[in-house]
Amino acid sequence: MIKLKTKLSDIKNSNLVFLIEKKSDLKLLDWLKLNAKILDKIESVIKAEKNEKLDFFLWNKDFENLYVFYFNKNKEKTLIEFLWEYLPKLSNNLTLLSNNDNNLEDLISTTLLSRYKFNKYKSEIKEDNVNIVINKDIEKLVKNRLETIENIILARDLWETPASDLYPEEFAKIIKKTKFKNIKVKILDSKQIEKKGLRLIHNVWKGSSKKPYMVILEKITNKKLPTIWLVWKGITFDTGWIQVKPWDHMYEMKWDMCGAAWVFATMKELDKKDLNVNIVACLVLAENHISWDSYKPSDIIKSYSWKTVDIIHTDAEWRLVLADWISYISKNYKLDKIISMATLTWAVMMALWYRYAWIMWNDKWLIKDFINYSKKNFEKYVELPFDNYFIEKTRASEVADLENLNRWVYAWSSMWAAFLSNFVLNDEKYTHLDIAWPAINSFEPYGLMNKWMTWFWVDSLSKILIDLK
């Protein structure tokens, strides 16, 4: 439970988290009437100019403990990195007090996102109670940030939900029930998908008893404005089909719908925002199982664009799903930009570990926006060089126009983007993001990122689109 407070005197039975940067900040604690030993200890840390957390037990009827975080912005660590080392370990009743409004957003974000836990299936739930002390004049800004965090947590919760409860139809129902203010929702069922000639998508799901759904979210504020399209798959469980995934990866395959969760959360984030562009987002919701109807290596499938695809590997399915949908949207909407996303390649992890995402292709101005965002914010992107060599290598099949995996070119991230570029029909500006491991963090929590499904991309993309001219 989160509550906004303007007076500390209104708060009972809590623990006070206080962020300071200089000695004069201590005036905010005058009302506590701290004893000289506590004040001397805090002042000694400030004098040493070393980032440190101090714990004090208070003989106070309203606040049991005082946690003082001294932050020196001249040190190598950012405020988020410093706070993250300690905040997840604190008790579940906290009151947040910042020395200034500029630091308050990082304090709120780190507290709420680093302490995230998925408790839906626990028989006993210990909920966090967080009070946030604010000045009345920044209440709107804080509420906006809390709405963003709420959307991020929605995406995390969807990802953590098992495929037995979150299958394509159920996911589509959740979106349909959402009360959007400015977004129009269109849903296509399996019969419509097949009737429209989306044959790549049809082949991906046909081994499962769970029917697929296509969800289109449109925020068209002014038809004269540029239109940007966002696309990601939502495979609610990914077995790998005939080329089945190894047992040690199979448990994690409920996360293959995480991209759809992010797109949904991002559109919720953008719903009430004033934009200088139109946004069309697509969630491709499907499930795959091994069955007599599963598509097979060596199958040749005709796409929506009429280009044929030689199936080299059945677990390279996401690019089939996105390929058909890119062509469909490119043909049926007047678009200026296409942004596709993938949580795919081990290549990203080997090069950048869990800290950075790759961004590539030909929309240089948009890529520049992502890179500039990275310099000042927690989410980080690195541009990957890209040229037509990779596109040519996707056309190496001897029996079809394209192949869904080139077995000899190991530039995986580049090759996946190159494959999708074949389905852009009207030369729209195209940006591809490979955000696999910052988004699906199976290594360790850090900063705002919890372990497993993080939320990477929701914050950065929504802010970039809000500022786009």
Residue numbers annotated as active site = 245, 319
Instruction: Output the CA torsion sign for 172, 265, 216, 254.
Output: negative
> Both tokens of residue 149?
């965090």
Pairing, β 452-453 against β 440-441:
antiparallel
Helices (H), 242-363: 247-250, 258-271, 318-332, 346-352
Residue 269 Cα to chain centre, angstroms: 12
Residue 459 and residue 378: Cα distance in Å, rounded? 9
**Nearest to 413, CA basis, from 438, 433, 441:** 433
CA max distance for the chain: 82
The two structure tokens encoding residue 337:
């930009």
Closest CA to 136 of 101, 94, 93: 101
Q: Three-state SS string across 218-277, please?
A: EECCCCCCCEEEEEEEEEEEECCCCCCCCHHHHHHHHHHHHHHHHHHHHHHHHHCCCCCC
Classified as helix, coil or strand, 49 is coil
